[in-house]
Amino acid sequence: MKYYQYIVFLALSISVFLCGAQNKAYEPTWESLDSRPIPSWFENAKFGIFIHWGPYSVPAWSPKGTYSEWYQYWMQSKSLFGNGNFNGDEVTAYHKKTYGPHFSYYEFGKMFKADLFKPDDWAQLFKKAGAKYIVLTSKHHDGYTLWPNEQANDRGFAWNSMDVGPKRDLVGELTTAVKKTNVKMGLYYSLYEWYHPWWQNDKERFVDEHFIPQVKDLVTKYNPDILWADGEWDMEDDKWKSKELLAWLFNESNVKDSIVINDRWGKGIRKHHGGYFTTEYEAETPEFDKPWEECRGMGFSFGYNRNEDAQDYNSPKALVLTLVNIVSTGGNLLLDIGPDARGRIPVIMQERLLQIGSWLENNGEAIYGTRPWNHSFQWSLKGEKNYIPKQHYLGGDVILKQTVDPEPGYAVKELFFTQNNKAYFVIMPKWNSEITIRNFKPSKNTKITFLATGETLLGKQAGKDFVITLPVYQPNKMKETDNYAYTIKITKN
């Protein structure tokens, strides 16, 4: 072998070796799967949009404080849970009165038209909202898929959006539109289906012939940035064969190096294994050793619920403070919207998204790409901490009670903290002419800026504490949305 050929051969050998070392093969064990790094974009994203959309968007109804996307289950099981006292048969009674006693849930598939669905308009709305990723329900617990899929029809009749209803590939259309922007595209997928005959009578067959090939079809066709599992809680991960599926996802799929997954892959797995950890309508932010995400609706339902009124929706201030509260402890907020059956996003939901996006335009530096400070927030000195009411789903009013509208005898979170490599950020739920950051001393050369206006602020050391003076409050200098929370930037050098 000539010398130069030897050098080329040696270089290629080293390259192959290094590539092999970098492209680790993951074993179907939690120890191996959990060792996979989570792509860094996710922990920097902070704000995502959840989308619950399907045949349940046709009736779009359940009692306040419950999930309307569970309509089929509430109706057929004559049961109900959520915030409130229920007889259990409310949805069953509503269905019989509205559609008649013999009207099957599956008839809603034909009525789910999506004829006003404009994916590019949706994508632009998500971008204006300041979201860095979205997660669409490709299939919820009723089994209807928003993409053409062979397994969706194995119950004995067609049950997908190409064959029934819209006659469109809704996942494909939205994926194409979103990927034209800088927003990441995620797909929710329910492992189980309430009334699939195999799930009810032959779970092993359901897993082998329905669940696994259906997930692989979804991933292979659309190359999602996130695979958001749900509906896992009735069966252990071994029976779901989740570890084998995830090993395929991380070793062989087209998105093996880029995809992000959550933690809902079998009974008892949440907050223990998988990718990032998830919470749902939880008010207090936990301490996790992994990135995490809180998901919740703007009201209490994830699917569109026509029974909810304007007062049932969180105010924009409550939503912004919820985002701040979660980000200050290292999490992401996945905020849900529920389009109607024709593909329109309700105006109040559009308005809330645009209000959040407007606040993020001036204050996003304190949100995106940040990490927790030594303390996520500073409580006022007097009063009992952690106001949490006794209810199944903790709504957006909780953060207001913990900040600007406290119950008698309760302390408030008077300041929230985040940081990045260059600066600390202090976020105030309400305006004060002066704030005191306890046990903090900035660098001598620090520059203090009020993000809403760009004004330079003055600060002084007072023993162990640091006191910042704000300008005279002038609302005309700020956008209306800047009043949801006020952000101060303190440079580190």
pLDDT tens-digit map of 350-360: 999 999 999 99
pLDDT tens-digit map of 220-279: 999 999 999 999 999 999 999 999 999 999 999 999 999 999 999 999 999 999 999 999
pLDDT of 20 over the 80 cut: no
- Distance, in Å, from the CA atom of 174 to the CA atom of 480, rounded to the nearest integer, reads 32
pLDDT tens-digit map of 399-414: 999 999 999 999 999 9
Element (H, E) at 434: strand 434-437
pLDDT of residue 24: 75
pLDDT of residue 251: 98
pLDDT of residue 388: 87
CB 136 within 8 A of CB 99: no
Q: Distance of alpha carbon 383 from its chain centroid, rounded?
A: 32
**Inter-helix orientation angle 119-128/347-363, to 10°:** 40
What is the arithmetic mean of pLDDT over 446-460?
97
pLDDT tens-digit map of 94-130: 999 999 999 999 999 999 999 999 999 999 999 999 9
Q: Which of 177-191, 332-346, 388-402 has the lowest mean pLDDT?
A: 388-402
Strands of 312-367, DSSP E: 331-337
pLDDT of 150 over the 60 cut: yes
pLDDT of residue 374: 86
Q: CA neighbours within 13 Å on the CB side: how many for 406?
A: 19
pLDDT tens-digit map of 473-484: 888 889 999 999
CB 384 within 8 A of CB 418: no
Domains assigned to the chain: 30-366 (3.20.20.80), 371-491 (2.60.40.1180)
Average per-residue pLDDT in the chain? Answer: 94
pLDDT of residue 285: 66
Helix (H, G, I), strand (E, B) or coil at 27: coil
Kindly list the distances between the CA atom of residue 146 and the CA atoms of 53, 58, 171, 187, 255, in Å, as whole numbers in the listed order: 9, 15, 6, 10, 20
pLDDT of residue 5: 42
pLDDT of residue 16: 40
Amino acid letter for position 434: E
Helix (H, G, I), strand (E, B) or coil at 49: strand
φ/ψ of 226, rounded to 5, equals -135, 140
What is the arithmetic mean of pLDDT over 209-225?
98
Q: Which of 26-35, 255-264, 275-284 has the lowest mean pLDDT?
A: 275-284
pLDDT tens-digit map of 40-89: 999 999 999 999 999 999 999 999 999 999 999 999 999 999 999 999 99
Q: Distance of alpha carbon 347 from its chain centroid, rounded?
A: 20
pLDDT of residue 389: 86
Q: And the tokens for 68?
A: 């309307």
Kindly list the distances between the CA atom of residue 476 and the CA atoms of 186, 233, 362, 472, 487, in Å, as whole numbers in the listed order: 39, 51, 15, 12, 17
pLDDT tens-digit map of 161-171: 999 999 999 99
Q: In what order do the strands lie in the sheet with 455-456?
A: 371-379, 413-419, 423-428, 486-491, 448-450, 455-456
CB 277 within 8 A of CB 334: no
Kindly list the distances between the CA atom of residue 164 and the CA atoms of 69, 144, 157, 266, 341, in Å, as whole numbers in the listed order: 18, 9, 10, 30, 13
pLDDT of residue 478: 93
What is the arithmetic mean of pLDDT over 454-467?
97
pTM for the model: 0.94
